[in-house]
Amino acid sequence: MQGGGSFKNMTSKGHAPNRPDPAVAGDGRGPDEKGSGADGPPAFVSHMGAEPGRDAYDEGKEACAERLLVVKGRMGRYVSAYDGEAACEGCDEPCADALARGGGKGPGGGGEAGHTEGTAEGTDKGRGKRKAKPPKFSNRIIKNPILAEVFSWAMHIVVALLIGLFIVVFVVQRTVVDKWSMEPTLHAGDNLWVEKLSPRFGWLGRGDIVTIYLPEELPNNDEVIIKRIIAVGGDHIRIAEGRVYVNGEMLDEPYVNGQQTRVQIGHERNADMTVPDGCIYVMGDNRGNSLDSRSFGAVERSRVTGKAGFRFYPFGRMGFV
């Protein structure tokens, strides 16, 4: 038949059936020419023949094409904008094998089977699991890798210092007791965590141990004292016969170890008074050796810098205060 004659005539010229001539397939260019059509496969696939290259590209163009380019860049032909290691991780070997076979190094037909297998395997491993990571911020603004690393470390240190400063100023601070006015509750050398939220939000009450900024009342260039709040704004305090009365009720003060509370001559007005609003009346637990409200009167709340919360040293006396 005429149709059969045509089939025999094709095979007599030495062309295998169903295999396109590499010189005329695809975009009509020879095996050494590179196509760059917008809808076609990337240029490096054209060496393996039009149909195998197009099929492999269509199957893996979203998941594997970028990784193939990166692998090609690691061979010295292409420089990726991203980190080749991160971009190709997950389908490194399959894609490299596909590139080698797709470049015409595979057996028969430009390595169609090898590229298809490599692309499929790379697609299964790479699709949706890993994406190319952009370079670090420091690498984007500083090209020199050493300077970029130094800049990165400097940024981390500055951020850490700012966080530490914020915590010390607004949250908590270490304080060391250096006097004896709070014995037996606190001793010289005790290390305390003093939190700063309570005075800031007005969470202060009777019995709290607080630090107070009061340089004008302290000798020896001291600036901060640590005392116990005995009464708050609006309370009436009276010291008589060695005992302390708040609003007419005698205080139970086990922390004074049985000491009597006395007032120095000349300061009697501070022994019977109503605490002004916005102020506190403070005394040390060591009543015989404490400079406190019995001498300088009530203290404004705004002078309170912190509230003692936890003693972390010495370890033998560790605990809340």
- Using alpha carbons only, what angle is made at residue 182 by residues 185 and 199, rounded to the nearest 5 degrees? 95
Instruction: Calculate the dihedral angle through the C-alpha atoms of 134, 136, 142, 145, rounding to the nearest 10 degrees.
Output: -100
Residues in the chain: 321
**8 belongs to the catalytic site:** no
List 46, 181, 290, 293, catalytic entry: 181
Residues sharing a CB contact under 8 Å with residue 169, sequence separation 6 or more, in sequence order: 196
Q: Are 198 and 307 in contact (CB under 8 A)?
A: yes
**302 belongs to the catalytic site:** no
3-class DSSP state of 133: coil
- DSSP states of 189-245: T-EEEEESHHHHHT---TT-EEEEE-GGG-STT--EEEEEEEEETT-EEEEETTEEE
Pairing of strands 191-195, 172-176: antiparallel
Amino acid code (one letter) for 14? G
Rounded to whole angstroms, the Cα distance separating 19 from 176 reads: 88
Rounded to whole angstroms, the Cα distance separating 321 from 316 reads: 14
List 72, 125, 179, 227, catalytic entry: 227
Amino acid code (one letter) for 270? N
- Known catalytic residues are 181, 227
